[in-house]
Amino acid sequence: MAKPKVVTVLSQKGGAGKSTLTMQLAGGLARRGKGVAIIDLDPQETALRWAHSASPDAPFPAPVRPLDGDPAVLPQAVKALGREVGVVLLDCPPSIEHPATLAALQAADLALVPVVPSPADLWSTKGVERLILQVQASRKGLKAALVPNRVLRTNLAWDVLEVMRDFTLPVLGASLSQRNAFAQSAVIGGTVYQLGRTGAEAAREVDKLVAEVLKLIGEKA
């Protein structure tokens, strides 16, 4: 199989929604029949625990692996997974100083930065953006975008764009709202697609996100 497409999910601020975005994206890609796997680069092991808490009759829809060894082995780990899947998602630790974050960015075709449209998150995103722009200076092929997360439905779409207008990186058209379904899917070790009607609106948001991501990494929808 060809080299898999790598999507790195990173942010400086803890709790911005990296693991949520990674897990839901995996669910949405798997639903479209895309072979997808996750490498959990965060020592907190959120993605690994999330998948591990699934019940045996409803396993998480994608394999989640730890990184065995130093971040320097990431390219080999991605290549090895490429024999099984077409897309590898990298869930990063909440620090841009962590060596795994830089390695994940170096390996990426697309970097996604979840941003909660609040002042603290916006400030910390400036640092992530600087790092991504630096890497892009030497790796022209690296695409990157901000993904609004935990958007309150009282915020109109233009409101979110307004607070994010100071960034150089593009903001995805898709975003995730603040919804119980996103938190609830972690409890069942699954994704919003498994929550039936409770997860329907969240699933629609993830579908939109998946479509945009596929386009950005040059994969068929």
Ligand X SMILES: Nc1ncnc2c1ncn2[C@@H]1O[C@H](COP(=O)(O)OP(=O)(O)OP(=O)(O)O)[C@@H](O)[C@H]1O
Judged by the rule CB under 6 A, the positions of this chain that interact with ligand X are: 11, 14-20, 42, 44, 46, 94, 149-150, 176, 178-179, 182-183, 186
Task: Tell whether residue 143 is a contact of Mg ion (CB under 5 A).
Answer: no
165 to 117, 119, 158, 161, 191: CA distances (angstroms): 11, 13, 10, 6, 31
**Cβ(73)–Cβ(20) below 8 Å:** no
Task: Give the bridge partners for 8, in sequence order.
Answer: 90, 111
Nearest distance from C-beta of residue 43 to ligand X, angstroms: 10
How many chain residues interact with Mg ion (CB under 5 A)? 3
Burial status of residue 221 (CB atoms within 10 A of its CB: 0-12, 13-18, 19 or more)? exposed
Q: Give me the residue label for tokens 């803890």.
A: 14
Task: Tell whether residue 46 is a contact of Mg ion (CB under 5 A).
Answer: yes
Phi-psi region of 167 (alpha: psi -120 to 50; beta: other; left: phi over 0): beta
Nearest distance from C-beta of residue 102 to ligand X, angstroms: 16
From 8, 11, 19, 149, residue interacting with Mg ion (rule: CB under 5 A):
19
Name the residue nearer to ligand X (CB basis): 6 or 149: 149
Nearest distance from C-beta of residue 7 to ligand X, angstroms: 15
Nearest distance from C-beta of residue 73 to ligand X, angstroms: 21
Binding residues vs Mg ion (CB under 5 A)? 18-19, 46
